[in-house]
Amino acid sequence: MPLPALLCRAVPRALLVTTLLAGATACAAPLPEALPAGSANEPVAALDLERYDGTWHEVARLPMFFQRHCVGDTTASYTRRDDGSIEVRNACRTEGGRIESVGAARTTDVAGALEVRFAPAWLGWVPMVWADYWVIDLDPSYRWAVVGGPTQGAMWILSREPTLDPALLERIKQRAEARGYDLDNLIVDPAQRARLGDG
């Protein structure tokens, strides 16, 4: 092929690639702002339960006894029922296969503060079977969320996709630490570790 014809083909393709990359960079969502140490550990002021519905992937979490057998691929699915209650379906991969637990969530007087239980429904009247479920950080587009509680002893980083951009994950962690969460023992999902280069 003559050189001029080759250049005529190559240049538009190069321009197209450059334009696409520039557009992707421009459209990338900005990182949430860093928080100062000592920031309040409290539920988000607003939570749209319809937008929160659906499946979330666990990207990272603090150690929890009831998840001691989970080795990866952990998901949490929320479904609004006709009666206004919320079905919670947690699942994860273990060394022996996949396990699942089904529970319920209910709202409180505070928008971002839910309560969850995995005890039988007939025990729902017992206050101690309900655990605090605070959404403490939330992407405006509901692409990721952080769940914690008043004691800061439990925390989950959730995403609509199996992994998060590494820079975004670091900022989310910084914001959690600023709220008083100790992440020294943070457990990161294998898929996320692979994306970070630690897999």
Q: pLDDT tens across 172-182, in order?
A: 999 999 999 99
Backbone φ and ψ for 178, nearest 5 degrees, come out as -65, -25
Q: Domain for residue 23, yes or no?
A: no
Give domain status of residue 21, yes or no.
Answer: no
Give the range of the structural domain holding residue 66, as residue numbers without chain letter. Answer: 49-196
What's the pLDDT score for residue 120?
44
Please indicate, yes or no, if residue 98 is contained in any of the structural domains. Answer: yes
Q: Which pLDDT does position 83 carry in this prediction?
A: 81
Q: Is residue 93 a part of any domain in this protein?
A: yes
pLDDT digits (tens, 9 = 90+) for 143-161: 999 999 999 999 999 999 9
Q: Is residue 11 in some structural domain?
A: no
Instruction: Say if residues 166 and 196 touch (Cβ distance below 8 Å).
Output: yes
Residue 39 forms part of a structural domain: no
Three-state secondary structure along 17-80?
Answer: HHHHHHHHHHHCCCCCCCCCCCCCCCCCCCCCHHHHCEEEEEEEECCCHHHCCCCEEEEEEEEE
In a domain, 7, yes or no: no
Domain total of the chain: 1
Q: Which two tokens stand for residue 93?
A: 């991969």
Query: Residue 129 phi/psi, 5° resolution?
Result: -85, -10
CA-based nearest residue to 105, from 154, 147, 168: 147
* CATH number of the domain bearing residue 158: 2.40.128.20
**pLDDT confidence of 28, banded at 50, 70, 90?**
low
DSSP string of 84-116?
A: S-EEEEEEEEETTEEEEEEEEEEE-SSTTEEEE
Q: What is the pLDDT of residues 97-129, one digit of tens each?
A: 999 999 999 999 999 999 998 854 434 434 456
Does any domain span residue 189? yes
